[in-house]
A and B are shown apart, each in its own frame.
Chain A
Amino acid sequence: MESVFEKFSVDLEKEFQIREQIKDIVKNIEPVERKLSTLVQQYHSVSCTTTYQHLLTEIEPLKIQIDQLKSLIKPELYFKYREYWKFSLTNISFSLLFSYWIEKKQLLKIEELQSLLNLEENKPGAFSLELEDYLIALCNLSNELSRYCLNCVIRQDYETPSAISKFESDLFAGFRLLNLKNDIVRKRYDSMKYDLKRIEEVVYDISVRGLKK
């Protein structure tokens, strides 16, 4: 029995060390995450200086951390420790999605995000942006667009809200194709219909007053 616990003790200690190391690395990811979300907030104000290109330069340092995580964590243990950086990656993805949509009026695909962030494609053992995280980022996008829609009107941009409305209804229709189980994505998706409603009301307000030419 001695030897069993000897080994057990060594292994647990190793695991503890790895967790500490991951925490240290993730600590360096979080400032980038915060920086991005502040930058993205500027889109709501009247004078906005943020550009998508700017965001891309901001995420450059992330590649170091992601490489560190990749070399630290064995592929088979990737899912075990994913919780540590999942939230940060979702937020960063959201910032990029939001910025990309505003400038290109297009959806940034999961594969594109993965290559931007120096992540691999979804396959077993690959350090990747998981579909679940991407979907949550999309829900965040939907929520933020409903807010952006109002702010467009404030700065007398009457064209963008209808583009948002079209995109949002596509997004919502897309989510309807998914068989979600009772998890966090489902909860976020459930609130999406309110975003849609808010956007439609803005479009209604604009068109009923003949503001859109």
Chain B
Amino acid sequence: MPAIVPALVVLGIFYLGYRHYSSYLARRVYGLDAQRATPAHTMRDGVDFIPTNKHVLFGHHFTSVAGAAPIVGPAVAAFWGWGPALLWITLGTVFAAGVHDFGSIVVSVRHRAQSIGTLASDVITRRARTLFLLIIFFLLTLVNAVFAVVISNLLIANPAAVIPIFLQIPLAIGLGQYIYRVRSSALLPSIIGVLVLYLSILLGMAFPLSIEPLTSALGIGERATWVVVLFAYTFVASQLPVWVLLQPRDYINSHQLFIALGIILLGLLVGFDVIQAPVVNDVPPGSKHWFPFLFITIACGAVSGFHSLVSSGTTSKQLAKETDARYVGYMGALGEGSLAVASVLAVTAGAVASTTEWNRLYSSFSAASGGATQNFVEGVAGFANNLGLPVAYGTVFAAVVVVSFAATTMDTGVRLQRYVVQEIGSTLNIRPLTRNIPLATALAVLVPVAMALLPGGGEKGYTFGVLWQLFGTTNQLTAGLALAVIAVWVTKRRRNPVAVLVPLVFLLVMTTWALVINMLEFIGQGQWVLAPLDMIIFVLAIWLIVEAGLALRRAWNDRTSEPEPEAKLDES
């Protein structure tokens, strides 16, 4: 089947979801009021709280939530065939991510634009904030570990990407200094910056850099070396002020996101590539069944708790009208879902020319997870080739895009992890942890380094797939916590919470189920690092279920006597 067919079907369902379901949520569940003043107006300060045009705010929101995760997860999940992956992305985006992202903005806007962590404490219980911090700690640990492996695998497979990636650092710093010091428009310097980056790919192709000779001479693993180099980089980068390196890199990435999406969609449309993978893959005996593992393999792209942090952290402070939350939040979820669809189609249609070739790439879960990102990169190269770009160039281009996204996520992740370590130090009254930034950063780096270097399954195999699923689990738990906050708020206002409760219950059941199966497997295999980690996350899941259940029961009893009047939506 041509890949464009399922792509158009999914986009059509997304359109219907936005047109009808988000309208239902806005009117009946969240009860938006176009006349109510938002914090962007009432707390306007010209820095955080600024009323922003909804199309522009959508752009800010989308570039903040989209990254490497909605690419990697779907590329791994294609192991079970493109049918289950696309089905979960479609249903998850329309009925879970849309509800979650949209709801997080609304609840935050109605609570002085507070973040989801504070809201958990206010709306559920004070204990929920501790739970939130713990979930975030494991989420950040795992995200740093998996992205280190993703980048290492890509740099090993694409030595031509090494020069452009390292050149991006001085390029970002230079562009950053220009924008910092010159107040004029940044359009021309940005175009030049992006052009220089993509021209440097030619330099990278002329001089591919592989560390293999060095590592084999020293007798150490190539992947392990890259992981250590990457964490050394993030150790330094995450201690710099954000405007020196992180923000300029983010800035370049936001341009790359739109360029890459444009190339994928145009290439897909022009090339008419045929899907070579089966609808449902007949997986080898002993492999994990897609139910429930699919739901934790694709978190970003179907529903991701990380979005609630962005929705309640920055987006809610800039919402000009309450009704804009529908466009920004729900559409942001659809945008991420579209990226996930592109990833599935890239690895099932763009990357391979025959079913035999696809079967070889996805012969086992280990092979699928280890090679997923490279398959995506080759898929994008296939689509880019439809537009006339040589495959070799397209491959390096896609690798540069994914590595750029993943590296900035690592920088942000280590930075946030340091804050969490400092907050834990403050709670436990351990002064060196709170005051010594290099020490706190070292602790933030050491745990994910250890995880990324976990033995098992060779250079890029088994461990990555398992770590990815554990990352998905913590991401789903974050989403579960945000959905619990939204459900409690909706229930208290005597509105029907079913639209929020269904994805909440679904996520908690699937996550817990997968955690139990994984735990039994780890214990059976004697994996004494992964088993306790899985068990801790399982305890957090149970804790979340108890807190959510208790909070919902209290909310049911505390409901206001009359439901709030249904407001008219003025979408002008």
User: Do A and B belong to a common assembly?
Assistant: no
Query: Residues on B close to A: CB < 8 A?
Result: none
